[in-house]
Amino acid sequence: GREVLVPDAADQKVVWPVLGRPGGVVVDGHLAGTWRPTTARGRFGVRYDPWGPDTPDLREAVEVEVERLAAHRGLPSAGLLAP
C-alpha cells in the first residue's frame, strides 16, 4: 500500500490529499518532496516543496524537469516557485 512508498502517515496526507494531488519528486527510488504545476500569465511554473535538504544538485534536476514540462505544454517557463 501507500506505506511502502511513503512510510510516514503525515507525509501520506500531503502526497494523497482528497483534492488536488501533487506530483512526487523521486530521488534514488525515494520520495524527496512534492511539486504542483501552476500556470499564470501564460507561463508554466512549479511549486516545489522538498522534504529534506534542498541541495544544489536536487534543485538543478527539478529545474531541468520544469523546463521540459513547460516546453511539453508549449509555454514559457516561470521556473520554480515557493511552495
pLDDT band at 1 (very low <50, low <70, confident <90, very high): confident
What the block records as the C-alpha cell of 14 is: 500531503
pLDDT at residue 78, as a whole number: 95
Please give the C-alpha separations between residue 70 and each of 46, 50, 60, 76, in angstroms, as whole numbers. 10, 20, 15, 6
What the block records as the C-alpha cell of 59 is: 534543485
pLDDT at residue 82, as a whole number: 80
Q: Is the pTM of this model over 0.85?
A: no
Per-residue pLDDT reduced to its tens digit, 24-77:
898 888 889 999 999 989 999 999 999 999 899 999 999 999 999 999 999 999
Element (H, E) at 31: strand 30-40
